């Protein structure tokens, strides 16, 4: 197997113009070849770093971009492998706000037998048959999230739509 430094030495020699001006044992070529080989090897290693599950050199940057370490898990000491697993999960987790998603999260966090109980609200008041649903929809879509809008209509208003 040929050495990558030797390959770059050979390549650089072939790039030189022909003629007696160039020495076969040129110190410049021998000096540049190892640097090019090292850059080549570093580029190859960075290809592995693209995958967060295998990242070593770039793991701190990936964690920062993904908001890790998780503030909820900040007190836990983690090995490099555990950090890679958490990062991989953060980048590749798909799911939503449903029971299966949260059960999977609990399983990953070490609670495989956890159960989730859902309670439905009880509202015994009848649905209103008055109001302007179009106006309410527009306002509810635009009001600031830190506020709560309550619609009150005057009694006896007959022109409001449903």
Domain ranges of the chain: 4-49, 53-96
Report the pLDDT value the prediction gives residue 35, as an integer from 0 to 100.
96
Asked whether the beta carbons of 66 and 86 are under 8 A apart, the reply is no
The neighbour count for residue 86, using CB atoms within 10 Å, is: 20
pLDDT in tens, 45-88: 999 999 988 999 999 999 999 988 877 766 778 899 989 988 99
Per-position b or e across 42-76, b if 16+ CB within 10 A of its CB: eeeeeeeeeebeebeeebeebbeeeebbeeeeeee
pLDDT in tens, 29-48: 889 999 999 999 999 999 99
């Amino acid at each position: 197997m040929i050495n990558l430094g030797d390959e770059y030495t050979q390549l650089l020699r072939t790039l030189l113009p022909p003629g007696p001006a160039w020495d076969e044992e040129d110190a410049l070529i021998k000096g540049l070849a190892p640097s090019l080989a090292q850059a080549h090897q570093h580029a190859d290693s960075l290809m592995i770093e693209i995958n967060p599950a295998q990242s070593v050199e770039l793991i701190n940057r990936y964690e920062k971009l993904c908001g890790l370490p998780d503030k909820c898990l900040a007190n836990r000491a983690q090995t490099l492998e555990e950090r890679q697993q958490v990062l991989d999960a953060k980048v590749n987790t798909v799911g939503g706000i449903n029971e299966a998603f949260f059960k999977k999260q609990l399983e990953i966090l070490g609670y495989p037998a956890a159960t989730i109980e859902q309670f439905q609200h009880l509202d015994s008041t009848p649905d209103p048959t008055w109001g302007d649903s179009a106006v309410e929809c527009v306002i509810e879509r635009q009001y600031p999230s830190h506020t709560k809008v309550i619609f009150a209509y005057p009694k006896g208003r007959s022109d409001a739509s449903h």
